[in-house]
Structure 1
Amino acid sequence: MSVALYMHDDGLNHVTPEGHPEQVARLRHIARALSVPAFDALERRTMPQCDDADIGLCHPQTYVDRIKDAVPQTGLARLDEDTWLSPGSMSAARRAVGGAIAAVDAVLDGAVGKAFVATRPPGHHAETAKPMGFCLFGNVAIAARHAMERRGLARVAIVDFDVHHGNGTQDLLWNEDRALFIGSHQSPLWPGSGRATETGAHGNVMNIELPPHSTGTEMRAAYENRVFPALDAFAPELILVSAGFDAHADDPLAQLNWQTDDYVWLTENLCALAARHCGGKLVSILEGGYNLEALADATAAHVGALMAA
């Protein structure tokens, strides 16, 4: 079946200060990389705006209101040392959540086989009532809750291969026995969470700590020995991916040394797991990746592998 690409120009209107790594150019580079003939078969779909009830699947209304009230009329507003708002940020954030939900619905309905949601701001650091790490709302966690609460799924797996621990997704799904959250990340590294001892209220969290300067060899061994067996045992009805590409050797914010072919290998194996357990149903949602060329190359490789599966 086809692979859908979800993008929207509102993602370009979430503006950060000059020199900030989570910048508008990230989406432009991804769009350019996916505009070549090799990706003509992608089913390109727009991203609807979510409403407060969608965000409320994971975040309290008081928090949503706080973010809305903090959006500036002009210029920029700072939420913490890393996380900023501009006049277009709330619209971009609503598209991020709305696109993730729409992608889940399209895959569950059989309209497409798989989907990649190219969006910003990212989401996996946003905790229940705390924005952080460039993130406002928990895009992937909200998508998981949508699948469970509204679509009736009993087992949803989330695999997060961003170089930074998805502390927000872990926080939002800590007490959720219908979800399995698996995150691989460099450790030690900001935000300092993601220890192997953090296992969730129901044994539903698995954290894979990868040492600085390790390569795709160590990553592949960890996934083969721990991640893939855990996913097989869980037998998910849907796989969601937090696709951060900042473990790439060229990324400036961390010290892992993955190469583009490591993302191909990982994507192929996740697609094979989806084929075994849930009819291939997989939705991938963009998180980090801050070297623009490496981000574009790794994203293109990831989407190409989704299409080839």
Structure 2
Amino acid sequence: MTDRTALILSDDFLRHETGDHPESPSRLIAIRQGLQQAGMLADRPVWEPQPASLELVTAIHRPEYVSMVERLALLGGGWLDADTVVCPVSYPVALLAAGAAVQAVDAVMAGQAPRVFAFVRPPGHHAEPGRGMGFCLFNNIAIAAWHALHAYRLQRVAILDWDVHHGNGTQAAFYDTDRVLFISLHQWPLYPGTGRASETGRGEGLGFTLNLPLLPGTGDARYLALFDETIEPRLLDYRPELLLVSAGYDAHWQDPLADMRVTEQGFAAMAARVRRWADTLCAGRLVLVLEGGYNLAALAASVVATLQALDEPNSIG
């Protein structure tokens, strides 16, 4: 087994055409170019994804919603809401995005790689059980977490969401269970309007949702303080068997859709901590799934910095 972080990449994700839209194929083109220029596509596994089964997708999403997305695509596409577009091939591409996240879980559980970063689109963390929204069709990371719990009989999976927007769909998927610890750092107030600190779970899930809303203008220092003082103790207490990350890069100071001040170095420092936690708690098992990030240069630079930190965490402060 290599110690390098494996990647899941595919030109098939470019087929989800969104037109004049922030969430466009150019995002993945910029990431691939950035990785190539940094020499980071050599000497590591780079895999093509496989689509998720309908059974897995409907474990998180209502069957009637999944069927509606399929029909809309077959009819030539359309809009789920003012932000979320479906093109004629969006349905199979969305299955591929979910499948990539599942495949990443399978790879780390089988020991094929200690860590996997799945570069997917459409993103997923806003997709709720009965509706897509916020550029998202199916909730890739939630589907992957469900798969981990049931295929491998895990009891504790942690999901850390550092996208600048709250992962309302992921929260909704696991709000009633203690088998998933969901942690989200996000700008507040901001779309989608969920993620208050008072949202902590329900029933058996009470206390297993940790929302950390942040004021506009928050930068590296506050993020890293929360990682060290709040998130790390919570993870040490929970002791997850697998760590998943919704890796969005729209908290970057150059991103047009938010107003935060995180730098590439900040994302690298967060990634280094996540790897150390995985090494300590989960036998290294770590999966990252791409979410947002809409300034192309900032997105590519932040992904490169993240991957460097995942490969060599001790080089990052």
User: Which bracket does the TM-score occupy, shorter chain normalised?
Assistant: over 0.9
**Structure 2 counterpart of 1:63:** 65
**Structure 2 counterpart of 1:284:** 288
Confirm or deny: 8 A CA contact 1:244 1:289 kept in the other structure: yes
TM-score, length-scaled by structure 2: 0.95
Alignment of 1:34-53 (within 5 A): 34-36=35-37, 37-53=39-55
**Structure 2 counterpart of 1:177:** 178
Q: Hey, what's the Cα distance between the residues in 2 that align with 1:306 and 1:90?
A: 31
Alignment of 1:212-223 (within 5 A): 212-223=216-227
Alignment of 1:79-98 (within 5 A): 79-98=80-99
Q: Hey, what's the Cα distance between the residues in 2 that align with 1:97 and 1:225?
A: 32
Q: Hey, what's the Cα distance between the residues in 1 that align with 2:156 and 2:141?
A: 15
Alignment of 1:150-169 (within 5 A): 150-169=151-170
2:269 paired residue among 258, 265, 268: 265
Confirm or deny: 8 A CA contact 1:196 1:209 kept in the other structure: yes
Deviation, 1:57, is: 1.9
1:207 paired residue among 207, 211, 216: 211
One-letter amino acid of the counterpart of residue 168, structure 1: G
- Deviation track 1:216-263 (CA, whole Å, cap 9, x = no partner) reads 111111221111111111111100000000000000000000000000
**Structure 1 counterpart of 2:199:** 198
Deviation, 1:176, is: 2.1
Identical residues among aligned pairs (%): 41
Q: Hey, what's the Cα distance between the residues in 1 that align with 2:246 and 2:294?
A: 15
Confirm or deny: 8 A CA contact 1:8 1:95 kept in the other structure: no
Matched, 1:304 2:305: no
Q: Hey, what's the Cα distance between the residues in 1 that align with 2:86 and 2:56?
A: 20
Q: Hey, what's the Cα distance between the residues in 2 that align with 1:71 and 1:303?
A: 34
Unaligned runs of 5+ in 2: none
**Structure 2 counterpart of 1:2:** 4
Deviation, 1:298, is: 0.3
Q: Hey, what's the Cα distance between the residues in 2 that align with 1:298 and 1:22?
A: 17
Deviation, 1:104, is: 0.3
**Structure 1 counterpart of 2:127:** 126
3-state DSSP class of the match of 1:157?
strand
Matched, 1:234 2:238: yes
Deviation, 1:165, is: 0.3
Q: Hey, what's the Cα distance between the residues in 2 that align with 1:254 and 1:279?
A: 35
Q: Hey, what's the Cα distance between the residues in 1 that align with 2:28 and 2:109?
A: 26
Q: Which shows bigger deviation, 57-66 or 127-136? A: 57-66
**Structure 1 counterpart of 2:23:** 22
Confirm or deny: 8 A CA contact 1:184 1:209 kept in the other structure: yes
One-letter amino acid of the counterpart of residue 42, structure 1: R
Query: Over aligned residue pairs, what C-alpha RMSD do you find?
Result: 1.1
Deviation, 1:161, is: 0.1
For these two proteins, the number of residue pairs brought into alignment is 307
**Structure 2 counterpart of 1:135:** 136
TM-score, length-scaled by structure 1: 0.97
3-state DSSP class of the match of 2:22?
coil
Confirm or deny: 8 A CA contact 1:140 1:169 kept in the other structure: yes
3-state DSSP class of the match of 2:36?
coil
Unaligned runs of 5+ in 1: none
Point out 4+ residue stretches in structure 1 off by more than 3 angstroms.
none
Deviation, 1:73, is: 4.7
Q: Hey, what's the Cα distance between the residues in 1 that align with 2:27 and 2:253?
A: 17
Deviation, 1:38, is: 3.8
**Structure 1 counterpart of 2:108:** 107
One-letter amino acid of the counterpart of residue 261, structure 1: Q
